[in-house]
Amino acid sequence: MDSLIKLFFSILLISSHIFGEINGVESSSSNHHHHHLSGPKKLFVFGDSYAGTGNIKKAHAVSWRVPYGTTFPGKPSGRFSDGRVSTDFLARLLGIKTPFAYLWKYYVGKEQLRYGMNFAYGGTGVFNTKSTSPNMTIQINLFEQLLGDIYSQQSDLSSSLALVSVAGNDYSNYLALNRSIAALPIFIKQVVDQTELNLRRLHALGLEKIAIPSLPPLGCLPLYTSPQGCNDTFNALVNYHNSLLEQVVAKLNNETRQSTFAIIDFYNAFMAILKNKGESPGSERFETPLKPCCEGSCGNVDEKGANKYTLCDDPESAFFWDGLHPTQQGWKFIYSVLGKALSASLLKL
Ligand SMILES: *[C@@H]1O[C@H](CO)[C@@H](O)[C@H](O)[C@H]1NC(C)=O
Ligand SMILES: *[C@@H]1O[C@H](CO)[C@@H](O)[C@H](O)[C@H]1NC(C)=O
Ligand SMILES: *[C@@H]1O[C@H](CO)[C@@H](O)[C@H](O)[C@H]1NC(C)=O
Ligand SMILES: *[C@@H]1O[C@H](CO)[C@@H](O)[C@H](O)[C@H]1NC(C)=O
């Protein structure tokens, strides 16, 4: 990395105002009304766009184009949402700042990496999906390379939480390649087996607290719904994935003779919100929860520069932002539904 550029960014980043604008990091410590878990003080994040905060290159993703990021930080930040994503809300729950994306590690000082690091790249899976984004094995390699350098295996990792986001890109890629639906259960087993290897590896590297979300109801994502609503066939396959994942987590916890791994139950949180049209029964916050705020080819324009998408008036009135991702408001409600059960399961780790 060019040292002048590095110096320039270091100076720039001294101002936390500018810092916030660049990376979209907020200070969660100012939220006095939030009850923070006393526990993990660093967050290491692996996976895909549900957790990513901007590793993906600008040329490779719509998440770096308007209207992504309009709610927070006010312009595109590489997050696949109008604002904050899963990682931001988990960090808030821990009472720490959102960790920097790996991409920024050359530009910020060690002090600013004290909340951990985000290795997630939008579009990735446990297997190769996009040529432009590294799969989870490669992401863990990147993490491993920093051990003993930026992070110490003993003191840093024992006070850390890992978030391992596997939200379904392996499956959307499988479907996009027109591979056999009948053989999908075999592939699901392969995905969960590979996830197990990744979890074992993270634990072997020294991470003692590891949270892994269940797959969301993929059959309810706007991209896969029909006028009749959610695709139950797809959701049945998602349930198969989630039951295998639960078995793996139970097995790993038994083997490590302690609670090391916890599932974050996205499936039921998504389902509850879609059913209740909001956070709780009767809240009716989202009039049409399956309708995304940004409809069409979100973030793309045609040759004449005209938008290939339409936007809703208020992103807070929508659960989904685009065909695949929740809005910031959606994520906020997901974490609020997970609430106490999530805090309790993370505290047990
Ligand atoms: C991850 O990506 C690397 C590089 O493309 C590849 O060699 C490796 O086989 C991939 N891992 C898995 C589990 O697919
Ligand atoms: C998959 O099938 C669709 C519809 O038949 C077709 O448009 C598409 O090109 C196919 N994709 C691949 C990768 O073969
Ligand atoms: C539902 O999902 C399954 C599995 O992905 C797919 O084969 C089927 O065509 C989908 N059904 C509808 C109505 O889209
Ligand atoms: C835990 O592992 C032991 C052997 O190490 C086995 O006997 C026991 O059945 C396992 N328990 C569960 C719940 O898997």
Active-site position among 28, 48, 49, 133 = 49
Residue identified by tokens 């590896």 is 201
**For residues 298 and 317, what is the distance between their CA atoms, to the nearest angstrom?**
17
49 an active-site residue?
A: yes
210-213 vs 307-311, strand pairing mode = unpaired
Q: Is the distance from CB of 208 to CB of 307 less than 8 angstroms?
A: no
pLDDT of residue 18: 33
Q: Is the distance from CB of 121 to CB of 306 less than 8 angstroms?
A: no
List the chain domain ranges.
2-62+73-265+338-346
For residue 205 the two structure tokens come to 């590297």
pLDDT digits (tens, 9 = 90+) for 117-174: 999 999 999 999 988 899 999 999 999 999 999 999 888 998 899 999 999 999 999 9
**Ligand 3 pocket member 31 (CB < 6 A):** no
pLDDT digits (tens, 9 = 90+) for 301-311: 999 999 999 99
70 CA distance to ligand 4 centroid (A)?
A: 50
Taking the chain (349 residues) in runs of 10, the rounded mean pLDDT of each run is: 42 36 41 60 97 93 97 98 98 95 92 96 96 94 95 88 98 96 97 98 96 98 95 97 98 90 97 95 93 97 97 98 98 95 86
pLDDT of residue 344: 86
**Ligand 3 pocket member 231 (CB < 6 A):** yes
Of 338, 348, 322, 172, nearest to 249 by C-alpha is 348
- Which one of the ligands is nearest to 170 CA? 1
pLDDT of residue 2: 42
Active-site position among 88, 203, 241, 325 = 325
- Does the pTM of the predicted model rise above 0.85? yes
249 CA distance to ligand 4 centroid (A)?
A: 13
32 CA distance to ligand 1 centroid (A)?
A: 43
| Cis preceding-peptide flag for 73 (omega within 30 of 0) | yes
Atom of ligand 2 nearest to the CA of 177: 13
Residue nearest to atom 13 of ligand 1 (CA): 127
Q: Measure Cα distances from 104 to 10, 109, 191, 235 in Å.
A: 11, 10, 30, 37
196 CA distance to ligand 4 centroid (A)?
A: 17
Secondary structure in 3-state letters for 123-169: CCCCCCCCCCCCCHHHHHHHHHHHECCCECCCCCHHHEEEEECCCCH
CATH number at 2-62+73-265+338-346: 3.40.50
**Ligand 3 pocket member 233 (CB < 6 A):** yes
Q: Where are the beta strands (DSSP E) in the chain?
A: 42-46, 100-101, 116-118, 160-164, 210-213, 261-264, 294-301, 307-311
82 an active-site residue?
A: no
pLDDT of residue 32: 43
**For residues 242 and 215, what is the distance between their CA atoms, to the nearest angstrom?**
6
Mutate to test the pocket of ligand 1, among 46, 121, 128 (most ligand atoms within 8 A of CB): 128
Question: How far does CA 217 lie from the centroid of its chain?
Answer: 15
pLDDT of residue 317: 97
2 an active-site residue?
A: no
Q: Is the distance from CB of 153 to CB of 113 less than 8 angstroms?
A: no
Instruction: Specify the amino acid at residue 136.
Output: M
29 CA distance to ligand 1 centroid (A)?
A: 38
Atom of ligand 1 nearest to the CA of 136: 1
**Ligand 1 pocket member 173 (CB < 6 A):** no
**For residues 103 and 55, what is the distance between their CA atoms, to the nearest angstrom?**
5
Residue nearest to atom 5 of ligand 1 (CA): 128
Active-site position among 48, 156, 265, 322 = 322
What percent of the chain shows pLDDT beyond 90? 79
274 CA distance to ligand 3 centroid (A)?
A: 19
174 CA distance to ligand 2 centroid (A)?
A: 12
Atom of ligand 3 nearest to the CA of 228: 13
- Which one of the ligands is nearest to 125 CA? 1
- Return the half-sphere exposure (C-beta side, CA atoms, 13 A cut-off) of residue 59: 1
DSSP 249-300: HHHHHHHTTS--EEEE-HHHHHHHHHHHTSSSTT----SSTTS-SEEEEEEE
**For residues 100 and 54, what is the distance between their CA atoms, to the nearest angstrom?**
9
- Which one of the ligands is nearest to 173 CA? 2
**For residues 200 and 146, what is the distance between their CA atoms, to the nearest angstrom?**
18
Q: Is the dihedral of CA 327, 314, 27, 336 positive or negative?
A: negative
Of 337, 339, 342, nearest to 273 by C-alpha is 337
Three-state DSSP state, 2: coil
- Which one of the ligands is nearest to 252 CA? 4
